[in-house]
Structures are given as C-alpha cells and as structure tokens.
Amino acid sequence: MNLLAVGCSHRTTPVAVRERLGFREDQLPRALDALTSRLDCEAVILSTCNRVEMYVGRVLDHPTRSTALLDGDALAGFLAEFHSLPIEEVRPHLYVYHNADAVRHLFRVAASLDSLIVGEGQIAGQVKTAYEMGQKCAGPGPMLHALFPHARRVAKRVRTETGISRGHVSVSSAAVDYVRQVFDHFGDKTILVIGAGKMGELTLRHLRRLEPRRILVANRSPEKAASVARGCGGEAVPWERLDEMLARADIVLSTTGAPEPIVTLERYRRIAAQRDGGPLVILDIAVPRDFDPRIHDGETTCLFNIDDLKRIQEATLADRRKHIAPAEAVVEQETQRFLKEWRRRRNGPVIERLTQDLEAKREDVVRNLFARLNGRLTEGDRKFIEYAFVKLQNQFLHGPISALTEDQPADASGHTLLDALRKLFRLRE
C-alpha cells in the first residue's frame, strides 16, 4: 500500500492560510486532473471551510509512468503551484500521514472526530461529495474506491454505536428543544417574531420546520417587518399592536437590538391578563435581553434567553466528549479491518496462484510415486502418503502466506514481498 494524506485543518492552520489553500468547486476537476497526471496516482481532494486535504494512492505492484516520488513534498509542491504560492509558505502548515495512519486519519475525519465541533454531521456528507467529485474526474483508483466507501461506513457506525452526534450544538436548534418541552403539536400555534436579527433568522428557520399555523413579524421598521415576513411566509404586524400580538401568540422569538428590555414585568402582567390560551414560550435571544427575566414561571410563561440556550450547547458538547474514546475505538477497529481486507484483496490472486502451482506439483509427484510403487501399497498406505504430502505443502505455504498478510512496506527500490514471491516461485502474471 502506498497511501498518503496531506493537508491542513483548523487544528494546524489559521483561516487566513486555509482560505488561500482551499479549492473552489469549479477548481476541483482541474486540480484532480493535474494531480493524477503529475504524480501518476489516484486522488481525492477534500476541501471544506475547516480543512483542505489530498488523499493520493498508488498500488505498488502496478507499473507507473511517473518517476515522481509520492511524498509530502511532492504534494506540497503541487498545492503551492496550483494556488501560485511559494512552497515555503505552504509546507510548514501541512501534515502528512502515510498508509495506515492515512486510513485512520480519513476515518477520524469522516466520523467527525477531527471536526471543530466533534460529532457534527456535515463532514460525512462532505467526504462523500469529495469522493463523488473525484469519481466524476476519474480521480480514485482501486485503493481509494475501497477506502472512501469504507470511510462512509465508519462514519455511520460511529454515529449509530456511540452518542457522539447526539443533541443539538447550535443555539438556534437548541431553542426547539425547549419549545418541545412545552408544546406537542404545532399546527394550531402562532409564532411571533420580534426584531430581525441574524440569529433570529436561523432560529426561525428551525421553528418553521415545526409547521406552525401562523407566523407574525413585528418590527419597529415596517419595511424590515415586511421583508422578514416575506422571507418566512409570515405576515407583518404593526409595532403598535405588539401587546395584542403577545396576548395571542404561543411562541415568541425576540431578537431586537433594543438597549433596554422592551417588555417589563408590569407590561407583561397586563398582557398576561388578556391571554386566555395555553402557555407562552418566549425565546429571548437578544443581547441585551428584550424581556424581564422575572416573567418566567415555568408554567404559563416559559422564558428562555441566550444563556439558557448556550447551556444546552455546552451540555451537548460535554456529552459528546464522553463518547470520543468509544468512537476512537471503532475507528481503530475499522482501520485494522480495512488494512486486512486490502491486503487480502491485493495478495489474494498471488496466494491463489502460489497454492495452485504447489498443488499441481504435489499431485504430479504423488502420481509418479504411486505409479512406481504400484501393487505394493495398501489403500491405507496410499491415503497416508497423500495426507503427508498435503501436510508438507501446507506447512511450506504457511510462512509466505502469513508474511503476505502482514503489512510489508516497499524497500528503497520500491520492491515488495509480493515481487519477491513472484520471482522466487516463478509465478505467471
């Protein structure tokens, strides 16, 4: 196996460098083409906002046109040249993984163990997309065709067998968790959006998935209210009718930039007196806060502010950290499984030829022996002799086959044990 993973990630490289080394989607076909033809190798490029990685491989017993060595420097040179950067600027930021370490690294990446937010689900999809893009450009060969689908299976196994992807890590999605503690069905619910902050938009996107009956948008600026309402399929309401809308709403999402609370305790008491529906959930994600925290009673009014939502985020991350060790164990197990399968796949035909060759020779020798001793052997003697030769053949093959199933790196001249066996036993291609 000659597999290499070279790249940089959020762990090793500042964003200012990463953004210069990244590949845009339209650049990828050209980059893959240049990489595979320059180094005569198979390749997949994974380029996301948090990492830029090149996975390249060359099957050792395949004849190669290129004399270029497949190493970190060659790939650093390619990366620097492609982005028109001096290699001295690029090389210090790159990490290089060889063979088993490269396999392990890809599995860790796909399983989101190397992500900025451990357990996030996006990276598995990005790995899949990178492989599919590689396939379109004829980048992957037999090695990467085996490796990338296996990485996808590892990601799935880690996700299902450990709790690494459990819970919500974004503030906006955590808000939905709180809402679900109070409400069960949303087809009859009204959401009132106050303000038009960026975080509010994200949270509203999550709340819209609950399919509420109605979305109302109130903003000091009628134009902004209309714009937000258009974006979320809601209706704009005048700011002056805020109290009336608060009395009607079931869920309130507040994200104004007001310097003072817009709903004080006294004002809310007047609003609550007008309410005749069920409980009201207020998601106050504005800083400074829009609602007086004293209005929270946990029954008729449930107020959750940005700190409460962040507590979910922190708790989820803490929970996920507990699952890192079991996830790493799965990755290690799968790495060993992949390497074993790869060796078996690569060496299988050679082992088969070797076995067939020796079997033919054994049968020939035994046949000659039996012809020579014809009439002087009982049936029991014949069986014993046949058994003894089979045993000798198996003992003879045991050493070479065991050696083949262990990882055998190529020597300095690029020769492997497989080449040696072919020569020693004069195996035909």
Partner 1 sequence: MYGISLVCFATSYTAALGLEVWCQFRPRRILYFLGLLFGAAGLATQSVYLAFQRPVGWMLILAWVLAIFYLYGALHYQRLAWGVFVLPVILGLLGLSLLFGPEADQLSLPDASFWGEVHAALLLLAAVGVCVGLCASLMYLFRAWQLRAKTLPGRGLRLPSLERLEQMNRRAIDWSFPLLTAGVVIGLFLMIQHPLTAWTDPRVLSTAVLWLTFLLMVVLRYGWRLRGRLVALLTIVAFLLLVCCLVLGHSLRGGAT
Cα(385)–Cα(80) distance, integer angstroms: 67
Nearest by Cα to 343 from 403, 415, 399: 403
Residue 299 found at the interface with partner 1 (CB under 8 A)? yes
Tell me the closest approach of the beta carbon of residue 308 to partner 1, in angstroms: 6
Q: State the number of binding residues for partner 1 (CB under 8 A).
A: 24
**Cβ nearer to partner 1, comparing 72 with 163:** 163
415 binds partner 1 (CB under 8 A): no
Instruction: Name the segment binding partner 1 (CB under 8 A); options: 114-122, 177-185, 231-239, 241-249.
Output: 177-185
180 lies in the binding site for partner 1 (CB under 8 A): yes
For partner 1, the closer of residues 100 and 306 by Cβ is: 306
The CB-of-194 to partner 1 minimum distance in angstroms stands at: 21
Shortest distance, position 169 Cβ to partner 1, whole Å: 13
The pair of three-digit structure tokens given for residue 323, joined into one six-digit string: 């699952």
93 DSSP 8-state letter: G
Closest separation in Å from C-beta 296 to partner 1: 8
178 touching partner 1, by CB under 8 A: yes
- Cα 422 to its chain centre, rounded Å, is 39
Kindly state whether residue 274 participates in binding partner 1, applying the rule CB under 8 A: no
Q: Which of residues 31-70 bind partner 1 (CB under 8 A)?
A: none
Interacting positions 304-343 with partner 1 (CB under 8 A): 304, 308, 311-312, 315
Rounded (5°) CA angle 173-178-181? 130
Window contacting partner 1 (CB under 8 A); options: 51-59, 234-242, 276-284, 406-414: 276-284
Per-residue mark of binding to partner 1, 277-296 (x: CB under 8 A): -xx----------------x
* Distance from C-alpha of 204 to C-alpha of 171, rounded to nearest angstrom: 12
**Which position among 5, 207, 251, 302 is part of the footprint of partner 1 (CB under 8 A)?**
302
Residue in 49, 137, 232, 302 annotated catalytic: 49
**Least spacing, CB of residue 250 vs partner 1, in Å:** 9
- Residue indicated by tokens 């109070």: 182
Residue type at 241?
A: R
276 contacts partner 1 (rule: CB under 8 A): yes
Strand order in the sheet with 51-57: 42-47, 51-57, 3-9, 95-98
Greatest pairwise CA separation for the chain in angstroms: 116
Which residues within the stretch 94-153 sit at the binding site for partner 1 (CB under 8 A)? Answer: none
DSSP-derived 3-state class of residue 236 = strand
By the rule CB under 8 A, 72 interacts with partner 1: no
343: number of CA atoms within 13 Å, CB side?
Answer: 19
Cα distance between residue 104 and residue 76, in whole Å: 21
Of 98, 105, 110, 99, the C-alpha closest to 154 is 110
| Calpha distance 368→366 (Å, rounded) | 5
Alpha-carbon 323 to chain mean position:
16
Q: Alpha-carbon distance 48 to 408, whole Å?
A: 34
Site membership for partner 1, residue 403 (CB under 8 A): no
Q: Under the criterion CB under 8 A, does residue 409 sit at the interface with partner 1? A: no
Residue 49 is a catalytic residue = yes
Could you give the residue numbers annotated as active site?
A: 49
Binding site for partner 1 (CB under 8 A): 167, 174, 177-178, 180-185, 276, 278-279, 296-300, 302, 304, 308, 311-312, 315
